[in-house]
């Protein structure tokens, strides 16, 4: 990615961070273009877009940490910085290193500048020069605003480039809007660009540049989830996953026991994300991710990692049931892994934590400057910070289906994988008819052999697991609708648990809990697991989190 480091942000009006009134500091020696510069040359597209990506590198680590450190799946170690510890305990203040909303507005203002100044009518050989970049930049802006609103609550919605101090102060004085308002606005703003291809700059730093961009359909799905437009969310996710030109079959790598003796594990778990923010590999080249030094033992941190899996994720993982479906010519048997006597305590239940995380004791001299433990989390890599992964997209699709009134289909995503055979067998005719195209996939692509339930990634043959079933009332309810209403919150609990098992360390957990807590108007849904992440409830933290105003960082 050295190429990026040599291209100063072409639209690089940046923001200060002294106070809310001064959030937008228009004085910057990084300004490369005059304020009346028009973007009307083809070369401007590359410089401008890569410049915005460079600004996104600045917020990449922080976006991930804000979504993970405040949740229930990781705990700060004694070596953690004071700012990380304060984030974890919700004692953050305006001076916290991770509380710099100005960096988000730097991305936004660069996007605003591009959108305002790009000559969208410019054409070469009958094709609009800026069409792909224009769509990509609008999506960058929408995604950044969603991250900002999730972290800070109500925020100023600034849609014009800020070039003067007077403009900056006026922008900051306008009424702040909620995440619902943010999402509703940008759903309309980016939907017209849903069929526009991403820019393709080839390989940059050994990475496919198309992966730098935010898939429009996925962002639309997320925003519809936040605004309660569940059928629309399910449609956007479905249309991305089942797209005729680029289908994404749920055929995931996994971690599994090699046989029914449960002595050895084979681990192929982990796939490159669908999209990500690329990071530099050395500071000379630009912005380097610090996540490896926060989560892993490195020479730079002398083995003193700052975050580790919490007791909460360890318990959730161990509470799962792993099973193997053993078939012969005459019968099929389901064999369940024991809960004791395994090669590691991390190998009890779901195997994803085992496959992704390791810690070992080191024989260090008592005078050594290095720590006595070495921790590695394979999901944390130096060269990118993920924005979307396939398994998590399927889980959000399941969340949308469930809340749209289709809990059987949603549960099928978890246990079986959606294909025509499984839909016909595990979803009743009433729901199949009602869901219609939301659960229809090309049978030649989404075959039984090519699809897998998300739960099977770490729990073996979940399709055969008698302990992992669609929730049903103990007795028949008065109407079909009553049964659906009974199932929806229970299936949602299973989806949120699966998001924890699959998405741990990925930066989305706090917002997954937040979304459901707000949807149910039950703040304890978020407060309870976070306050119990150390194994026992922290009553003070629980009480603090029952007030949703305490969820958000102060906007300075």
Q: Is the pLDDT of residue 71 over 80?
A: yes
Minimum mean pLDDT range among 247-261, 363-377, 514-528, 539-553: 363-377
- Which tokens go with 99? 């509380």
Minimum mean pLDDT range among 17-31, 282-296, 355-369: 17-31
Q: Would you state the pLDDT for residue 533?
A: 97
- Which tokens go with 381? 């890599």
Q: Length of the chain in residues, anyone?
A: 556
Q: Is the pLDDT of residue 276 over 80?
A: yes
Q: Is the pLDDT of residue 28 over 50?
A: no
| Backbone conformation region of residue 436, classed left if phi is above 0, alpha if psi is from -120 to 50, else beta | left
Residue keyed to tokens 């009480």: 543
Among 42, 48, 550, 68, which Cα is nearest to 312's? Answer: 68
Q: Is the pLDDT of residue 150 over 60?
A: yes
pLDDT digits (tens, 9 = 90+) for 176-230: 999 999 999 999 999 999 999 988 888 888 888 999 999 999 999 999 999 999 9
Q: Would you state the pLDDT for residue 39?
A: 56
Residue keyed to tokens 């990380």: 84
Q: Would you state the pLDDT for residue 45?
A: 72
Domains and CATH numbers, the chain: 2-226 (1.25.40.390), 255-386 (no CATH), 388-551 (no CATH)
Kindly indicate the confidence band of residue 10, based on its pLDDT and cuts at 50, 70 and 90: very low
Could you write out the three-class secondary structure of 437-497? HHHCCCCCCCCCCCCCCCCHHHHECHHHCCCCCCCCCCCCCCCHHHHHHHHHHHHHHHHHH
Q: Would you state the pLDDT for residue 4?
A: 32
- Which tokens go with 400? 């949308």
Among 529, 304, 498, 355, which Cα is nearest to 413's? Answer: 498
Q: Is the pLDDT of residue 384 over 50?
A: yes
More confidently predicted of 545 and 449: 545
- Which tokens go with 95? 């001076």
Could you write out the three-class secondary structure of 121-189? CCEECCEECCHHHHHHHHHHHHHHHHHHHHHHCCEECCCCCCCCHHHHHHHHHCCEECHHHHHHHHHHH
Cα 529–Cα 535–Cα 540 angle in degrees, nearest 5: 65
Kindly indicate the confidence band of residue 285, based on its pLDDT and cuts at 50, 70 and 90: confident
Minimum mean pLDDT range among 274-288, 311-325, 372-386: 274-288
User: Considering the chain, what is the average pLDDT of its residues?
Assistant: 90
pLDDT digits (tens, 9 = 90+) for 463-501: 999 999 999 999 999 999 999 999 999 999 999 999 999
Kindly indicate the confidence band of residue 37, based on its pLDDT and cuts at 50, 70 and 90: low
Query: CB of 309 within 8 A of CB of 534?
Result: no
Q: Which residues contact 412 (CB under 8 A, 6 or more apart)?
A: 418, 422, 423, 426, 427, 453
Q: Is the pLDDT of residue 261 over 70?
A: yes
- Compute the average pLDDT of residues 370-396: 96
Q: Would you state the pLDDT for residue 38?
A: 56
What distances in angstroms separate CA 19 from CA 16, 116, 169, one per listed residue? Answer: 8, 27, 11
Among 116, 88, 91, 14, which Cα is nearest to 58's? Answer: 14
d(C-alpha 257, C-alpha 31), whole Å:
56
d(C-alpha 236, C-alpha 225), whole Å:
10
d(C-alpha 488, C-alpha 158), whole Å:
37
Kindly indicate the confidence band of residue 3, based on its pLDDT and cuts at 50, 70 and 90: very low
Kindly indicate the confidence band of residue 14, based on its pLDDT and cuts at 50, 70 and 90: very low
- Compute the average pLDDT of residues 447-456: 94
Q: Is the pLDDT of residue 528 over 90?
A: yes
């Amino acid at each position: 990615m050295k190429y990026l480091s040599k291209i100063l942000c072409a639209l690089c009006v940046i923001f200060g961070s002294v106070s809310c009134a001064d959030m937008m500091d228009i004085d910057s020696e990084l300004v490369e273009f005059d304020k009346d510069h028009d973007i009307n040359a083809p070369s401007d597209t590359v410089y401008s877009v890569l410049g915005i990506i460079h600004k996104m590198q600045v917020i990449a680590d922080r976006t991930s940490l804000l979504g993970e450190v405040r949740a229930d799946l990781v705990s700060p170690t004694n070596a953690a910085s004071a700012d990380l510890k304060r984030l974890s305990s919700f004692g953050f203040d305006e001076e916290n290193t991770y509380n710099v909303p100005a960096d988000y507005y730097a991305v936004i203002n660069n996007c605003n500048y591009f959108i305002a100044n790009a000559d969208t009518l410019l054409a070469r050989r009958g094709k609009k020069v800026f069409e792909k970049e224009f769509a990509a930049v609008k999506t960058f802006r929408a995604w950044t605003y969603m991250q900002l609103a999730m972290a800070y609550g109500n925020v100023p919605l600034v849609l014009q480039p800020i070039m003067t101090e007077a403009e900056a102060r006026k922008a900051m004085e306008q009424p702040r809007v909620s995440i619902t308002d943010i999402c509703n606005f940008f759903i309309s703003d980016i939907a017209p660009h849903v069929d526009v291809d991403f820019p393709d700059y080839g390989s940059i730093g050994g990475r496919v540049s198309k992966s730098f961009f935010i898939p429009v359909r996925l962002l639309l799905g997320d925003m519809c989830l936040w605004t309660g437009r569940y059928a629309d969310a399910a449609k956007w996710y479905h249309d991305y996953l089942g797209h005729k030109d680029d289908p994404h079959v749920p055929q995931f790598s996994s971690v599994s026991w090699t046989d029914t003796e449960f002595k050895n594990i084979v681990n192929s778990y982990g796939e490159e994300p669908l999209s990500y923010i690329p990071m530099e590999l050395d500071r000379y080249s630009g912005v380097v991710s610090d996540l490896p030094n926060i989560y892993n033992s490195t020479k730079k941190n002398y083995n003193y990692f700052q975050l580790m899996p919490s007791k909460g994720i360890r318990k959730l993982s161990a509470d799962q049931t792993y099973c193997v479906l053993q078939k012969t010519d005459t019968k099929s048997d389901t064999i369940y892994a024991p809960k004791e006597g395994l090669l590691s305590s991390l190998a009890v239940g779901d195997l994803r934590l085992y496959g992704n995380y390791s810690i070992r004791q080191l024989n260090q001299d008592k005078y050594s400057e290095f720590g006595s433990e070495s921790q590695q989390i394979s999901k944390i890599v130096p060269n990118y910070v993920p924005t979307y992964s396939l398994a998590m997209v399927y889980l959000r699709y399941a969340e949308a289906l469930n809340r749209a009134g289709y809990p059987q289909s949603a549960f099928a995503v978890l246990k079986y994988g959606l294909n025509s055979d499984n839909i016909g067998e595990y979803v009743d005719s009433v729901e199949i008819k009602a869901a219609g195209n939301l659960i229809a996939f090309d049978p030649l692509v989404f075959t039984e052999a090519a699809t897998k339930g998300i739960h099977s990634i770490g729990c073996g043959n979940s399709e055969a697991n008698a302990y992992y079933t669609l929730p049903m009332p103990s007795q028949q309810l008065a109407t079909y609708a009553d049964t659906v209403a009974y199932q929806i919150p229970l299936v949602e609990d299973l989806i949120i648990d699966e998001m924890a098992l699959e998405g741990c360390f990925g930066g989305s957990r706090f917002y997954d809990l937040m979304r459901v807590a707000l949807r149910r108007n039950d703040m304890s849904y978020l407060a309870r697991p976070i306050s119990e992440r150390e194994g026992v409830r922290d009553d003070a933290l629980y009480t603090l989190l029952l007030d949703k105003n305490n969820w958000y960082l102060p906007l300075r």
